[in-house]
Amino acid sequence: MKALSAVALVLTLGCGGSTTPTPAPTPTPTPAATFTILSATPGAGGTIPLPVSPGDGSRSPEIEFQFTYPGDLTLGVGRTSFQVALLNSDNTECMATQIAYSTRLDRNDGVYVANSTARFRTGFWVIRDIPRYRCGTSFTTDKVRFDLGPDLPFNPGIPTIVNTGWSFVVR
């Protein structure tokens, strides 16, 4: 008899005419991607020599940085990669480097676990020698742009631009 009472009670409650709407579940926000410069040589306001020929490239500046991303990735050339670029005051890309010329500091493989921190140090920089990227024989930059890609499942706010305050001149 107790079982029947419980069923009757449930049926009675289920048939009631409630006017209180059931709240919709709150979606879980996707964590944002981040890019942070940890150190740079030379420091802000510093000057570095650039090669006379754009094909020679440059090992300077050396930037140590980290990024986070809200999804699992396989990092490497031909997979998810990044580009770090130095922009002049007109937002023209004057120098760039990429994952192939950088050293990973937090581990020795291409595994990236969602929301973890991946740390890198830049290596070889290429001077942009395409007419639309020509920055002349010297330029001042106060912006570093970080692009992660190419085929990310969602856009978490990258590219990111970080202001620095460096000067770069041809030797």
DSSP structure class, residue 152: -
Residue 171's pLDDT is: 56
pLDDT higher at 148 or 52: 148
- Helix (H) or strand (E) segment spanning residue 99: none
Token digits of residue 122: 């830049």
To 5 degrees, how large is the angle CA 103–CA 160–CA 104? 10
pLDDT confidence of residue 11 = 32
Domains, the chain, in order of start with CATH, read: 31-170 (2.60.40.2550)
Give the total residue count for the chain.
171
Token pair listed for 65 = 């940085």
Question: Could you tell me the pTM of the whole model?
Answer: 0.76
pLDDT at residue 6, as a whole number: 31
Is the pLDDT confidence value at 139 over 90?
no
Give the pLDDT confidence of 44-91 residue by residue, as tens digits: 788 887 777 767 788 889 999 999 999 999 999 889 999 999 988 888
Q: Which residues pair with 148 in a beta bridge?
A: 82
Q: Which position has the higher pLDDT, 90 or 24?
A: 90
pLDDT of 112 strictly over 80: yes
